A and B are shown apart, each in its own frame.
Chain A
């Protein structure tokens, strides 16, 4: 009996010992409420914002607007990559546009989180210098918030001028994830969206003290100015657009390149020339590539099989000696559908920086160039051509174009009259900005229809009968805008009735 008691005693001890700790937290993560307490925390959260920004300034933001435009033809071997976009049959349930929507709001949420923590943190123990840094970081968060709302407004809203009272996009300034639908925002007007963008840019300008620097991988005062120029042009505030662009051009910090070698180096070795903001990248930290199967190179077979090739009119738009043409287009044999080969020009701009390659393969990666001075020349030209007046000094749209063309090995253009100048500007924007995601927005702003045209080699493209001259979309076509993702409308009753028309 003693033994039984003994063993029963051990048993009782076992029972009481086998209750486990229920308060478990995941490893390697931080409690949000304790994530910003020191300057070092702020540094990490700041770099987190940059890391997200790097992934969202190019990639789909640049490519899906290009492949559905009138600049490219899908090849017969494109395998339906980007097919819904290219064929203009996108719907509210397609992934392309909805991932841009989700990604932008994710970056915005991250910036809002940072601002909330930065405003809440007790910095009384911090050094003066650290407090100043925190202010700069806050300015950067305002910039990022403005930048992504601007991206969304371009993708999902009508052109601003004349449509101020149409739907904008929800402008989110608070990080408070919840399933409570009553807390969710609605679209508001486009005017409101842009007011908020301007306000955030004012805050960014106020807090950011970082001086402009060629090829800066941090957001500088000049980067804020560049975004202000882009926004003002969009809003039809041509005076401001011209002034802001002018400020950057006249600062002399970002001279245009003067040799073909330097021009090529901008794109193939990320030379800092002309870059106002060029985010950091390395072999182990890559952004999203702007390439969308434009090259499709197999080094092993020395063979190109692109998904998309430039239309014939794009090739013909360039002078043969234009450095952009010589360096960013390549005449070669391509392998198309059915194992057939065709000789034509492919779009070679994003062949990538070889220093960012892993192994010998092409990954079409460069440091993301958010703002280049060339765009500022084009903005100043367009703003002035549309009646903008510089607050000091003068500029001439045609000479702006020719300054840029001179820095590209192209001959000077001539022309008179605002209409003609504007159409020259639109063409020059194609030459300079092709592949960077401006085309659809430009057609909306210039009120020019989208017109696909003759293929370089009709046999090489997908469904040649319906993708050449017969393919035309009005600049007011509903599908110039992307649909608000169906998942957003389903989750958010306050937006349920605010879908873009045509979807």
Chain B
């Protein structure tokens, strides 16, 4: 604490007031016009004489001695500078107005300076820092789930390093990317940025949905734009030091299928084969009462998660700054799964002269992590998620030993390395002898230079870099299956390195001017260039015979193998925007952008994108002034096009490449087929919306949209007789049409109590309008197909029709609805069940009573379906002879007349629609309770400005019909997916 005091004292000294004996002494208080509170550190100076100046103290008071006819300039970063003639007065109080771009509710729409959200013509939603901060997840994007109408966010695994997938207003593309463009402080970045950001560094996130707000981003904006702004030093505050610590744990979210125990498993064997006799090992297991719950064995009950961070921020007349550092540490619920992340951020803005502003935002993160390699291995028996379900319960992972009297007992202190009954290693042992480590250093940095040569003209040049350096080491110890004498495969060591950078150079000129007072124009011209470059190399050494010599250089040299790849892409863009508004009532925005990308064919690299939008602030009309129950009312509409280039870097280029070696000589063969016409996928969209605040109590916003994706970037299937199964091309159209609704109710608004309920929802209808080659349908497999007139992602499968009680055989409907007992893919029909939820939304409750705050964020999706592939293994008698299954199998059809859903033993199980489960869900994504200790108490300490304690639970509960682990997984099917977890944490935050 001493150090902090010293630090503060230092700052005070630096900025301390200095007085000069001169003509008259002027005193006064500088306050914030909106809050009435004094502002600390404001510069008051004599115009034309830089030697005469003063700064305000903590109460906003100043004192300066100046000529009686002088003019005071009162300046503070973030506020509009004021010029006040002294006119002989000795007391001058100043109320400072916040500059529009510094307001909380401003957004940066496209390039150029920020605007008040109320003057934004396009469609944009803001998520503020309160929602994002302190979430016990390594991925800040997870917090966005259910917050913004039309934005679907998924965390698809319990791996602590798992990223999020996002879609805005439906799926806009089939083969190209569907993730919105992420912009961090003006720089386009990859969506991975969410996992390298300290969530406490985020000021707000703006989600831009329609063409008017996104077309200026042209390329890559077809899926919408998510604009992240990080914190900056706040004006009107003393330098603020915050310290935060948080600790908690994760637990597994379990599935809802009852798995057989040993007794049930034995019963089942008798059912399947009345002559069944337990083997000696099975008999022993029953005698010892062994009934292993493998899920319990593999998953940790409590996996710790903690974080700590510190930030220092402040602002002076010339500069503002925000510096932070943080640590986040989380263990997964499975072994060999954790992340430790260190983050650093420095955001500095400097007003160097009246006409020059410079700044730098730099975020650096470093992650040490491991992910459980088997947890992504689907139906591999070493995948602990899959194994939890299917390993036989009578097998014990612990040694069975005999005591002195020859009585067998389970020795829980020693785990078995090999499970003879299963013919496999103990998965925990196997992963334990494969140590791995991964390191990821990432930097997101930007610098800018802003010139204001004449009033109204802003020339800005911004340089951004996003880069990472990734290293992975994975080794297998020469023991067990990798034993050099008796192992099945050789022990290997691998090291790999990857480096990536993307540099973005953006140059803009913006000119604002007014004509005849009420006509305001903003003209923006700009240019942008992006270079991305990735290179990777790795080495693998085999036949490591001794663990003590396990370097890359210490394998069998004959078997050394390398990997190496290089990849780059470039974008060149030019853009312009004209914004016009009349009397703050009528707004029109028009933008145009030309984009080129190296990813497209020789003659089709460039494309044009444009938009036009308008807004009418109805409440400002004279005739509305009398309508007191309407506080705000606006109407907006836009039309435009945006592009999608989220494909591989070289898909259009035909290649011949190495396909291996033959007898030691280099071998070449055909590679990628050429398509010189490959070009941009475009989305043409219309957006119409109305928003209002009514009775000063309720906010409502409704927007309708219609988007058509043209020239879908597809892997167009080729006849395999060409030598290729598909090639990149542009074909087909797809529709997304829907509505976003946002409602907010300020239920209680008194001095001490604030209670607000917000809700949002989206309905999106997707439809494939046209397919490649003029066809009506194209079957993909895995119960998916493209059908013109149907949504993309609707399952195409054979409908089951129950079990025939006469013979226990599964029945199906054929295409015409007749019963059949022969399974055929030809009987597949569109099932009306979609993998992409058409309905989604969220509910947020915010309650505040003095220092106590309770916030609950619910999110939900409806009409979401998923194939529960895990179940296929659990209800299939095939796998029961050497595996485990669901207890429901005990209800299997046994003899004529049995009425059951479970077909008889001899009825082959198929991939029919019984595996497609309703994965709609309602989830309490976040529950937060916090308490701010009264300021009075804090003041008494003399140096602590604020103290807050809080508790947060993530994924506290979920309501769903889905029987697998997690309905949130964003996939058409789930097979051994590492399940999401639940977190409980408590934390404390000090500010000084």
Q: Measuring CB to CB, which residues of chain A are less than 8 angstroms from any residue of chain B?
A: 4, 7-8, 11, 14-15, 18-32, 35, 41, 43-45, 47-52, 54, 76-77, 79-80, 83, 87, 89, 91-93, 101-102, 105-106, 108-110, 112-113, 170, 172, 175-179, 181, 184-185, 217, 280, 282-285, 298-303, 305, 335-340, 358-362, 462-463, 466, 485-488, 490-493, 495
Contact = CB atoms under 8 A, between A and B. Distances in A.
Interface string B354-392: 011000000000000000000000000000000000001
A20 B572 contact: yes
Contact of B881 (A31, A93, A101, A338): A338
Given A7-B356, A93-B825, A361-B489, A18 B505 contact: yes
Contacts of A177: 673-674, 718, 722-724, 727
Contact of B663 (A24, A285, A299): A285
A51 B461 contact: no
A128 to B, nearest CB: 22
A479 to B, nearest CB: 13
Contact of B659 (A51, A93, A495): A51
A488 to B, nearest CB: 5
B487 A299 contact: yes
A92 B720 contact: no
Contacts of B656: 29-32, 35, 45, 113
Nearest to B560: A284
B669 A29 contact: no
Contact of A11 (B420, B461, B543, B655): B461
The 5 closest A-B CB pairs, nearest first, are: A109-B723, A359-B490, A339-B421, A48-B669, A177-B673
Contacts of B485: 360
Given A11-B507, A18-B527, A30-B657, A300 B486 contact: yes
Given A184-B722, A358-B489, A360-B486, 12 more contacts: A32-B674, A51-B669, A170-B721, A178-B718, A178-B727, A184-B721, A283-B558, A299-B486, A301-B420, A339-B420, A339-B882, A359-B488
Given A24-B569, A179-B772, A47 B661 contact: yes
Contacts of B653: 25-26
B406 interface: no
B486 A185 contact: no
A29 B567 CA distance: 12
B22 to A, nearest CB: 31
A30 B655 contact: yes
Nearest to A182: B773
Contacts of B668: 30, 35, 41, 44-45, 47-48
Nearest to B606: A22
B537 to A, nearest CB: 12
A181 to B, nearest CB: 5
B649 A26 contact: yes
A310 B564 CA distance: 44
B719 A488 contact: yes
Contacts of B747: none
B722 A490 contact: no
Interface stretch (B103-111, B142-150, B476-484): B476-484
Contacts of B673: 177-178
Contact of B669 (A52, A54, A340, A486): A52
Interface in B548-594: 558-559, 561, 564-572
A486 B720 CA distance: 11
Nearest to B453: A4
B19 interface: no
Interface in B587-609: 596-598, 605
Contacts of A93: 779, 781, 825
B655 A32 contact: yes
Interface string B859-903: 000000000000000000011011000000000000000000000
25 contacts: A19-B572, A20-B531, A30-B657, A45-B669, A48-B669, A49-B669, A51-B661, A93-B825, A106-B720, A113-B656, A175-B722, A176-B722, A184-B721, A285-B660, A285-B661, A299-B486, A301-B423, A336-B882, A338-B392, A339-B282, A359-B542, A360-B484, A361-B490, A488-B719, A491-B725
Contacts of B657: 28-30
B832 interface: no
Contact of A490 (B461, B650, B778, B879): B778
Interface residues of B, number: 106
A11 B598 contact: no
A48 B659 contact: yes
A335 B279 CA distance: 13
B655 A487 contact: no
A18 B658 CA distance: 35
Interface string B432-465: 0000000000000000010101000001010000
A185 B721 contact: yes
Contacts of A185: 719, 721
B950 interface: no
B824 A91 contact: yes
Contact of A80 (B650, B654, B878): B878
Nearest to B279: A340
A471 B823 CA distance: 19
B252 to A, nearest CB: 26
A488 B722 CA distance: 11
Contacts of A109: 670, 722-724
Interface in B402-437: 418, 420-423
Interface in B683-718: 716-718
Contacts of A105: 720-723
Contacts of A112: 723
B659 to A, nearest CB: 5
A393 to B, nearest CB: 37
B623 interface: no
B529 interface: yes
B717 A487 contact: yes
A222 to B, nearest CB: 19
B670 A175 contact: yes
Given A11-B461, A92-B825, A93-B825, A284 B559 contact: yes
A29 B490 contact: no
B559 A8 contact: no
B908 interface: yes
A79 B825 contact: no
Contact of A298 (B282, B488, B559, B778): B488
B605 A359 contact: no
B825 A4 contact: no
B459 A280 contact: no
B825 A360 contact: no
Contact of B649 (A24, A44, A54, A490): A24
A198 B529 CA distance: 58
Contacts of A217: 663
B426 to A, nearest CB: 13
Contacts of B723: 105-106, 108-110, 112-113, 175, 177
Contacts of B719: 181, 184-185, 488, 491-492, 495
Contacts of B665: 43-44, 47
B281 interface: yes
B459 A11 contact: yes
B662 interface: yes
Nearest to A285: B661
Nearest to A177: B673
B162 to A, nearest CB: 28
B543 A22 contact: no
B729 interface: yes
A476 B311 CA distance: 79
B627 interface: no
Given A47-B663, A93-B779, A466-B906, A284 B882 contact: no
B650 A25 contact: yes
A8 B457 CA distance: 12
A492 B878 CA distance: 36
Contacts of B543: 358-359
B8 to A, nearest CB: 37
B487 A77 contact: no
B908 to A, nearest CB: 6
